[in-house]
Amino acid sequence: MAEVLPLPADFLGRARFYGRAWYWAARPFTLSASVVPVFVGSALALHDGAASAVRFPLVLLGSLLVQVGTNLVDEYVDHRRTGGRGKLLAPYKVIAGGLLSERAVRLGALLVFGAAVAIGLALVALVGWPLLLLCLASLAAAYFYSAGPRPLGALALGELTVAVFMGPVMVLGTYYVHTGTLTGAAWLLSLPVACTVTAILVANDLRDLEEDRAAGKVTPIVLLGPGFGRWLWSGLVLAALLAVVALASAQVSAWWLLVALLAAPVAVRAARAVFTADSRPALGRALALTARFHLWFGALLSAGLLIAWATG
């Protein structure tokens, strides 16, 4: 068990210590994955004239809490399984780094998931029981991604799980929270979101390839190699951009969707990093750029829907 660093003697010092510890434990650099689908689903609901100012903050907070809870479970389970052996001591490895104890991270995960459940039940009361099925499935996916006897993320199922739950499930779920219905447009708009968020995980698995091999974690890139990972990343990013063009051309929503293509320069920079990286820090930059592309792409896609609503 990792030893926790000694606490500062003064109150402000302790507050800064714990603030830094929980900041890294939450892994804020991953949270765009839970924000973008909510923004896209909510923007489409507003475009369709059915957005709710009360439900939006609830679904956004619930989505963020599930993501943070997943990150805490991943930190706890990963440390329990390996004790940090073979892992780079990154700032977000709060247990191995001595910032938090295993018990604190486990309790934090329980509290965060408990808050997410409370928000989910409030939304179910507002929207109806079908939403309960989606909430239960999302919580199960969040937990079993990292935990359980055979975690999905260690069985080469991480990309598929992320694509399904951080794409269609979250976009359609958000839209349903606002409108009480599902539409083909919501389904189609969820697909480029699924592609960009999955590209983040592919970039992460490229960076962690050697660590995953050493830990016995199976990912598609461990199975098929980094070359496959780079081309999978490229296919996902290109598919997201082409999907926007196709949707705009088919007038599923509006030509304003094409503003999402303004994120393409970030994708180009990320692609350059993905294909030229020859070290873990360089692959870390590729991961950061991929996450930035996902955020900009989702924000611009949402903006396109809002402009279409405002000008329609």
Domain boundaries, the chain: 11-311
Predicted local distance difference test score (pLDDT) of residue 5 = 67
pTM metric for this prediction: 0.91
Report for 1-5, 98-102, 176-180: range of highest mean pLDDT = 176-180
Count of CB atoms situated within 10 Å of the CB of 45: 25
Average pLDDT over the chain, rounded to an integer: 88
**pLDDT, tens only, 253-278:** 578 899 999 999 999 999 999 999 88
Mean pLDDT value across residues 134-141:
88
Is the predicted pLDDT of residue 182 greater than 60, yes or no? yes
Is the predicted pLDDT of residue 222 greater than 70, yes or no? yes
Mean pLDDT value across residues 182-196:
94
Mean pLDDT value across residues 149-169:
89
Mean pLDDT value across residues 158-176:
94
